[in-house]
Amino acid sequence: MHKDDKEPKIVIRPIGKFGGLDNIHIALIILVAILIGLLAIISYSKPQVIFSNQSSNTSSLCANQISQLNASYQKPLHTEAEVLNYTKRIIATYNFININSSLSVYIPFYSYVNEINLSYMPSLKEWHAVVPVLDPATNSTFFVSFDIYDSNLTLAKSYIETISPSKVLNYMAVSKGVILIPGKFACSTNSSVNVFWFMDPYAPGSVYSLEYIPKLESEFGKNVNITVKILYGEYTDLVGSRYGIANAQYLGKYILCASQQKNFTNFIINLNAIYSNNYISNQTLYSIAKFSDLNMSMLNSCIQNSTTLINRQALLAEYYNITTTPSVVVNCNYLTIPQTAYEGVCFTNPSLCK
């Protein structure tokens, strides 16, 4: 070994009373001991589960929860049948609401009342009714809905463009296009279905509605008895204020008297060809009647004596509470419109329809 090399120095410390462990090691050992003790305490303090009774305990808990739910659920005061009938009354009432909207026709006469969906809302104590309605202009279906109080069976809310009837009438929609008139009874005069065609001649759609008459007669033949009922209303009065009331009433008289002849269909076709929602003079009506091959002497006699008959028809319209025209009464107790008169006849006598 070179003389300049130095031997390595080894430091030897004496063994103390902790076996050579310093303070850090001792602290770690104490911490581990504490953690082991805590785990032992926690494990022995857990509640014991007896597995043999687990199934019965679970069943008992479910039974208690179901019992509590039943106690909180209040059975509705009214049945679905009662709510359904009230909903049908709401639908029919829209025929008598004076609103400038097609909804006043669509809802009462184009609702699928046999497909109304009802649901009860226990938290609100209300029924929710959803009604499918046909839009005849597009042949598509839309939906209207109502909330009905279960407590007294009254209308809570209508979801129809904020249009809601102030009072629900006793009329009831019993089928698509058919409304039952309260307090009226079916006709029993003969085997044919009586159809009363009420019209203010100058009311929008009245003259055009006459085209449905030959269609019904072609469909049902002698099984229907259609009679035109003239009702002079605000539209004829409006024309009369300009052209004279007597002149304005001639349109109604010609229609009424022509309807009593076999060539009435010809008169309907020719009248519709020339009518443009404006006043028609007596001379023009005479020409249409003559061109339609009507018996002119019979026609003139009828026109001269038509005032008394029309006055009686006005009383009949009042009896049925006809406020808008054209309106159709089928079998003396069902209200409909010309577009759904077919449905009215079929509802009255299903054997006539396939």
Q: Convert the pLDDT of each residue in 280-291 to its tens digit.
A: 999 999 999 999
Please report the pLDDT score of residue 49 as a whole number.
41
Question: What percentage of the chain has pLDDT greater than the value 90?
Answer: 72
Q: Which among 128, 172, 124 has a CA at the least distance from the CA of 148? A: 128
Q: Which of 9-23, 43-57, 161-175 has the weakest average pLDDT?
A: 43-57
pLDDT at 51 over 50: no
Give backbone dihedrals phi and psi of 193, rounded to 5 degrees, phi first: -85, 120
In the chain, the amino acid numbered 227 is T
Please report the pLDDT score of residue 73 as a whole number.
61
pLDDT range class, residue 15, cuts 50, 70, 90 = very low
Please report the pLDDT score of residue 211 as a whole number.
97
pLDDT at 99 over 50: yes
C-alpha–C-alpha distance, residues 126 and 195, integer Å: 40
Please report the pLDDT score of residue 101 as a whole number.
78
Task: Give 110's contacts (C-beta < 8 A, 6+ positions apart).
Answer: 133, 134, 135, 136, 176, 177, 340
Mean pLDDT across 194-221 = 97
pLDDT at 68 over 70: no
Q: What is the bridge-based pairing of β-strands 193-199 and 224-230?
A: parallel
pLDDT at 58 over 90: no
pLDDT at 110 over 50: yes
pLDDT at 66 over 70: no
Please report the pLDDT score of residue 45 as a whole number.
52
C-alpha–C-alpha distance, residues 86 and 90, integer Å: 6
8 A C-beta contact, residue 96 and residue 163: no
Question: What percentage of the chain has pLDDT greater than the value 70?
Answer: 80
Q: What is the pTM of this model?
A: 0.78
C-alpha–C-alpha distance, residues 325 and 312, integer Å: 17
Q: Which of 29-33, 172-176, 275-279, 295-299 has the weakest average pLDDT?
A: 29-33
pLDDT at 11 over 90: no
